Structure 1
Amino acid sequence: MRKSLQSPRSAVTALLVVASLALAGCSGDDDASAEPETVETTHLDGTVEEVEVPEEPQTWPLTGLEVPDDGSAETRHPVIVTKMDNTPSSSPQMGLSHADLVVEELVEGGITRLAAFFYSDIPGTVGPVRSMRASDIGIVTPVRASIVTSGAANITLSRINGAGITHYGEGYKGFFRESSRSAPYNLMADLKEVASTIKQKMSRPEDYLPWGTADDLPKGPKAASIDADFGNHTTTWQYADGRYHNTNSYAPEDDQFPADTVLVLRVQVGDAGYRDPAGYPVPETKLVGQGAAVLFHAGRAVRGTWSKNNLTSPIKLSTKKGDLTVPAGRVWIELVPAADGDVTWTK
């Protein structure tokens, strides 16, 4: 039985009697103008009081963290994924500290590129902005994200468009070339400007990961130092002060992604069917099916497996004992090639 708010004079003696239950917006309409759920309560003195029923805590789909109830949350936009360069030429990367989640994926030449997800916090300038890959279809579609990009090869554009993914590039509001950088590493985007052009009422996306708490995790071995090897690039992490720090990040110290968790998924990699301008074959990460996973949190490693039924479905995690959840927080996902990559860690 729900407890009611009681008037001072009946606070001690009043008994709660639920007289009726009024559900506002019971038509199923998700319109923001729908009235909150209320209950009418009758006190012993005959007074009737209408009490608003507290809503269940809402959480962000990309972090699992609670949405503030002070009205500051702005969600009238889709999830915006920015494709960012991840080579020394990208230095300094901008905007990563505002991202909810980051996915690091293999591109040609054994190097990597970042898909930085922005939803709860839309910053100003981010970049350098680079091109899309077919791998991005499986990465962004589970949350119906739009992509901020410098473009893509025609074969990739055809597949991206066929998947129904909205993308924005140079020529749209918010994009500019930074004069202090060299092309093609000088394309930047003001995400606030980009978001202003696509502002609309959006329904909440599905959770990107199965969120839980640290108490839900099995106790794995200590893992303070992590190396995610993609071939010609290794991303290194060090656990300190309650978070994982990317020790070879190209972002300035005050703008790095504050990872609460590093999630490594071992993935199959195929051939995208074309070569880049330098002649390298373009790989395509297959974020579908299943594979080995290692979840790093609070300085420990938990081994498991990941699965994804199709490109649009969310990622599921499990161990031999059952489902595996990710502690709510900000997560960096490493899509490490199963065949030619590796992940190692030490105490």
Structure 2
Amino acid sequence: MSAQSDNTDGVATVGIRHRARTSRATLTAAGLAASLSVSLTAGCSHHGPDDNRAPQHTATPAAPPAPAPSATVAGSPLAVKIDNVPEARPQAGLDAADVVYTEQVEGGLSRLMAVYATRLPQSVGPVRSARESDLELLRQFHRPTLAFSGAQHKLLPLIDRTPLRAESVAADPAAYFRVAGKAAPHNLYVHPAKLLPSAPGRAALTTGFSYGPAPSGGTPTSSRTVRYPAARFAFTWSAEQHRWQVAMDGTPTVTADGVRVAPATVVVQYVRIRDSRYHDVLGNHTPYTETVGSGKAEVLRDGRSFSASWSRPTATDGTTFTAADGGRMNFADGQVWVVFAPAP
């Protein structure tokens, strides 16, 4: 599979209707009841089945009581699963994210998970399907809202049991739209304001990250490249912007509005990437990125590279980073990109 081909959703991918969706204004925990999970099974096209074409109905277990809307919405961030093949670019809303995670998917390709807390852009996308390891990654946040196009039908019960608001295109079609000029499935976008009433604020970013002055030392660094089998990310220091300009697969990364994406901090986090229990129709196992545990990391900020280590003892913990001298590894104020790289 080449980097030009997106067959990463050759699994039976479906949309999910949240088992007991929380009304933004009136629904409370006492009023929750189980509902049916509506799934949309897509055809296995060359570009993958995120189009949500043929509906089918699957019953899901009863939902546990949910907190009041103020806890599930106002204090919780929005996470959006974003397509990242060349056909999907330029993406919308990447520059507004507080944190962008990159992950390896089937065929050695990549996808992004953008997390929004301090501001909500007008639109984000293209939106694509969720993976099993996304659920572990998102446990560090308090009942986040997850915007995604769908998921493999065997993954739906796991999504249903995860403490998050699952807002697929099937669950809330009014929040999504398709744009002209891009072929499906690379044309599905979401309006964040239709999923959250407002940006929840910085307190919703329970990532464990620390911001402040850089530690002493570090190595002057002008660029850094991280490679997956069929994708690569390059970060080039811009002294003028005081940011790391992003390029993906050799092309500068800009938003649909022409804004150059340039985070203040880039983290190369070395993790174990193993096969999950799921696979596509070709038999390729979906990679599972383990984000609970500990390991080595490299932190890029202020035009320098710092050796660090990371630790996340349990799924509900944030990830803390420690500098080589044993002190806290602070990040620069601004957007953070976390690139999950295979541990050596």
What's the TM-score, normalizing by structure 1? 0.70
Question: Which residue is 1:332 aligned to?
Answer: 337
Q: Give 1:142 shift.
A: 1.0
Q: Distance in 1 between matches of 2:184 and 2:308?
A: 41
Residue 118 of structure 2 aligns to a residue whose secondary structure is coil
Q: 1:98 to 1:183 in 2, by over 3 A?
A: same
Root mean square deviation, CA, Å: 2.2
Q: Give 1:111 shift.
A: 1.0
Q: Distance in 1 between matches of 2:95 and 2:123?
A: 12
Residue 307 of structure 2 aligns to a residue whose secondary structure is strand
Question: Which residue is 1:31 aligned to?
Answer: none
Question: Which residue is 1:289 aligned to?
Answer: 293
Q: Give 1:287 shift.
A: 0.4
Asked if structure 1 preserves the Cα contact closer than 8 Å seen for 2:176 and 2:190, the reply is yes
Code of the aligned partner of 2:178? R
Question: Which residue is 2:323 aligned to?
Answer: 319
Matching of residues 245-284 of structure 1 within 5 Å: 245-247=245-247, 248-252=251-255, 254-284=258-288
CA shift digits 1:283-305 (9 cap, x unpaired): 10000111110000011110011
Asked if structure 1 preserves the Cα contact closer than 8 Å seen for 2:312 and 2:318, the reply is yes
Question: Which residue is 1:300 aligned to?
Answer: 304
Question: Which residue is 2:150 aligned to?
Answer: 151
Query: Unpaired segments of 5 or more residues in structure 1?
Result: 1-74, 340-347
Q: 1:277 to 1:92 in 2, by over 3 A?
A: farther
Question: Which residue is 1:177 aligned to?
Answer: 178
Q: Distance in 2 between matches of 1:195 and 1:188?
A: 15
Code of the aligned partner of 1:336? A
Asked if structure 2 preserves the Cα contact closer than 8 Å seen for 1:88 and 1:250, the reply is no
Q: Distance in 1 between matches of 2:91 and 2:193?
A: 17
Q: Distance in 2 between matches of 1:201 and 1:191?
A: 12
Matching of residues 83-94 of structure 1 within 5 Å: 83-94=81-92
Asked if structure 2 preserves the Cα contact closer than 8 Å seen for 1:83 and 1:131, the reply is yes
Q: Distance in 1 between matches of 2:132 and 2:222?
A: 33
Asked if structure 2 preserves the Cα contact closer than 8 Å seen for 1:96 and 1:255, the reply is no
Q: 1:95 to 1:200 in 2, by over 3 A?
A: closer
Q: Give 1:76 shift.
A: 2.9
Q: Give 1:316 shift.
A: 1.1
Greater mean alpha carbon deviation, residues 284-293 or residues 161-170: 161-170
Question: Which residue is 1:132 aligned to?
Answer: 130
Residue 309 of structure 2 aligns to a residue whose secondary structure is strand
Question: Which residue is 2:76 aligned to?
Answer: 78
Q: Give 1:335 shift.
A: 0.6
Quick one: which of 101, 109, 112 aligns to 1:111?
109
Q: Distance in 1 between matches of 2:155 and 2:201?
A: 27
Q: Distance in 2 between matches of 1:249 and 1:258?
A: 10
Compare CA radii of gyration and give the structure with the larger one.
Answer: 1
CA shift digits 1:264-292 (9 cap, x unpaired): 10000121112124442111000011111
Code of the aligned partner of 1:106? Q
Q: Distance in 2 between matches of 1:206 and 1:148?
A: 17
Code of the aligned partner of 1:244? W
Q: Distance in 1 between matches of 2:199 and 2:263?
A: 30
CA shift digits 1:235-292 (9 cap, x unpaired): 0110012100012345347334330010110000121112124442111000011111
CA shift digits 1:138-187 (9 cap, x unpaired): 32221222110001112322222222221111141211122322111111
Q: Distance in 2 between matches of 1:238 and 1:203?
A: 27
Residue 160 of structure 1 aligns to a residue whose secondary structure is helix
Asked if structure 1 preserves the Cα contact closer than 8 Å seen for 2:118 and 2:199, the reply is no
Residue 272 of structure 2 aligns to a residue whose secondary structure is strand
Residue 195 of structure 1 aligns to a residue whose secondary structure is coil
Residue 195 of structure 2 aligns to a residue whose secondary structure is helix
Asked if structure 1 preserves the Cα contact closer than 8 Å seen for 2:116 and 2:199, the reply is no
Code of the aligned partner of 1:305? S
Q: Distance in 1 between matches of 2:202 and 2:335?
A: 21
What's the TM-score, normalizing by structure 2? 0.71
